[in-house]
Every structure is written in structure tokens, then in C-alpha cells.
Amino acid sequence: MSVKITGMDSLQKKLKKMADGARELDGQHQVAIPDLLTESFLAKHTKFTNAQELFDNSGFKIDSPEDFKAIPDDEWDQYISSVSSFESWNEMLQSATAEYAKRKMGLSS
């Protein structure tokens, strides 16, 4: 009796993509907000279709990184809590980062 095993090539490709993704994620990186807050992420957790809409709707003047840094954390967290399924900006970023890592490793689309 013999058993034919199929799909090993596909599995090897998936494992290679995961390993490549893990190597790419190793260490510290700066990831652009639009790469974290993707359309699909925002559609799932907010009413917005992109990060720019999220920022534009905030009522804060955000024309530069310095403008964003000047927003009081508690006020920004209140805004994020009111427009998303998250309690804070940090919580939103942690979730978005986890999804980003899954995509990089080929674990989600």
C-alpha cells in the first residue's frame, strides 16, 4: 500500500514566505501609518476608508509630525475611542501592528 502526499510544494512556499517575513520584521523598524492603518483595517474598526480621513475628521490641525505630537494624548485617545473599536491610540496601533506582521509573514491577506 502506498500513500501519495500532495501539496508539499505549496507548504514549502508558505513556510519560505513566513521565514522571509520573519527576517524582514526582525529588529526595530519604522512603518508608515498608511501601511499600518490600511483600508481593510480601518473598515473593520472605524467608519473611515483611509488614515487621512481619520486624521482630517479629528478636529485637530495635523499638517506635520510636529502637529500630531502636540495633540494631548488623552484628547487623542478620547477621539480614537469615539470613532473606533479601540479604547486608545496605543491599542489601535498595537492591533494594526499585529495585523501588519501577519501580512508580512503571509498569515493573512
**pTM of the full structure:** 0.72
Q: Give 48 or 109, the one with higher predicted confidence.
A: 48
Report the phi/psi class of residue 7: left, alpha or beta, with left for phi > 0 and alpha for psi in -120 to 50.
left
CA atoms within 13 A on the CB side of 15: 6
**Digit-coded pLDDT (tens) for 49-95:** 999 999 999 999 999 989 999 999 999 999 999 999 999 999 999 99
Domain ranges in the chain are 8-104
CB 105 within 8 A of CB 21: yes
